[in-house]
Amino acid sequence: MTSVWGELLGSELPVVAAPMAGGPGVPALVAAVTSAGGFAFLAAGYKTPEAMRTEMDQLRRHAIPFGVNVFVPNAVPIDVDAFRRYARDLAAEARPYGIELAADPVVDDDHWNDKIDLLLQDPVPVVSFTFGLPGKAVVSALRRAGSRVLVTVTNEAEARAAREQGVDGLVAQGADAGGHSGTHTPGEPATPVTLERLTGQVVRATGLPVVVAGGVTEARQVRDLIGAGASAVMVGTLLLRTDESGASQPHKDALVDPAFTETVMTHAFTGRPARALRNGFVDRHQAGAPLGYPAVHHLTRPLRAAAVAAGDTDRAHLWAGTGYRRAPAGPARDVVTALASAL
């Protein structure tokens, strides 16, 4: 008998590797999770369509099934004066690296149309979307091309709206998840609820298969969430320190550095709420940072890249969920096997 996650994802186990944009979610990690019986997503975010195709081709050469996650254009408007004020505030942070920050906001759609065209011409088993709704026409076209379509939601209202677009399933992201929140309304984040409660709310509201994400670190959580109605469980932070992860070494090291004692939700790095290890940059700039994605993302990106290259974890963005201390080193296969051990 085919399992719900088997029908939705085609995987042996209900364990999914999150699409971690910006470096961690490399093809080697996708391959390792898949070979262990799980399912994994490539992250299309921040990549050119050409780079996206290269990674897809790399996995296909080895006959590895995978999904692709795409950022939905959902720009958060930013006041030009607020942007310039923040750029001036950050000038001292950039000066040690010889970086001159942008004077005016840059807003783009992350190659939205080209990425959708690529996925229609070269379909993958599953396409997921984050930051908003892709539109009924996009959902229908991808499904006709043979892909199953998922949308990330953070509350019941978003889940109902996604269902109306004809999606095959949902990714319900809890507040404990690391990295960017998938909220459709960045300026009005949802009230945090437990992952178990969010699972129940979304399942009951939509009747769709639901992959749940946010702070999962143990096999018993996977068992309990499946028991609460989830079709599968997604993890990201738990895979950051694995051998196959593409996360930078400073990022991996910070997850076990006792100097970092907590995670916080912050929009200081990108202008969109994201959970990260609390560091000096967050402390210095959270209060004055404006909302405004992707303008703030483009503003800080060269500074963040320079900080990572220099091993400067005081200025780097260190995405992490609340369970970051339990992220193990070693093969990704071991993480997948351990999470599924209580089923």
pLDDT digits (tens, 9 = 90+) for 203-229: 999 999 999 999 999 999 999 999 999
The pLDDT assigned to 75 comes to 78
Q: What's the mean pLDDT when you consider all of the chain? A: 96
Distance CA 31, CA 212 (A): 21
* pLDDT tens by residue, 267-298: 999 999 999 999 999 999 999 999 999 999 99
pLDDT average, residue stretch 190-197: 88
Instruction: Assign residue 210 a region (left: φ > 0; alpha: ψ between -120 and 50; beta: otherwise).
Output: beta
Helix axes 332-339, 219-227, angle to 10 degrees: 50
Name, in order, each residue with C-beta under 8 angstroms of 152's C-beta and a sequence gap of 6 or more.
128, 129, 130, 131, 170, 171, 173, 182
The pLDDT assigned to 79 comes to 92
Full DSSP string of 222-245: HHHHHHTT-SEEEESGGGTTBTT-
Full DSSP string of 13-53: SSEEE---TTTT--HHHHHHHHHTT-EEEEE-TT--HHHHH
| 257: Cα separation from own chain's centroid | 23
Q: Which two tokens stand for residue 221?
A: 């959580």
Largest CA distance in the chain: 61
Burial 39-75 (b: 16+ CB within 10 A, else e): bbbbbbbebebeebeebbebbeeeebbbbbbbbbbbb
* pLDDT tens by residue, 32-66: 999 999 999 999 999 999 999 999 999 999 899 99
The CB density around residue 200, as the number of other CB atoms within 10 Å, is: 18
The pLDDT assigned to 2 comes to 60
Sheet-wide strand order for 179-180: 179-180, 274-277, 263-266
Distance CA 212, CA 112 (A): 25
Based on C-alpha coordinates, what's the Rg of the chain?
19
Contact 327, 238 (CB under 8 A): yes
Q: Which two tokens stand for residue 79?
A: 């006041």
The pLDDT assigned to 313 comes to 98
Is the pLDDT at 1 greater than 60? The verdict is no
Q: What residue type is 147 in one-letter code? A: S
pLDDT average, residue stretch 117-128: 98
pLDDT average, residue stretch 262-267: 97
**Percentage of the residues of the chain whose pLDDT score is greater than 90:** 94
The pLDDT assigned to 324 comes to 98
Using alpha carbons, select from 99, 121, 108 the residue that is nearest to residue 47: 108
pLDDT average, residue stretch 149-153: 98
pTM of the model: 0.96
* Residue 197 confidence class, pLDDT cut points 50, 70, 90: very high
| Residue found under tokens 């993890």 | 235
Q: Which two tokens stand for residue 6?
A: 């088997």
pLDDT average, residue stretch 238-242: 98
* Residue 315 confidence class, pLDDT cut points 50, 70, 90: very high
* pLDDT tens by residue, 81-110: 999 999 999 999 999 999 999 999 999 999
Burial 276-286 (b: 16+ CB within 10 A, else e): bbbbebbebbe
pLDDT average, residue stretch 319-336: 98
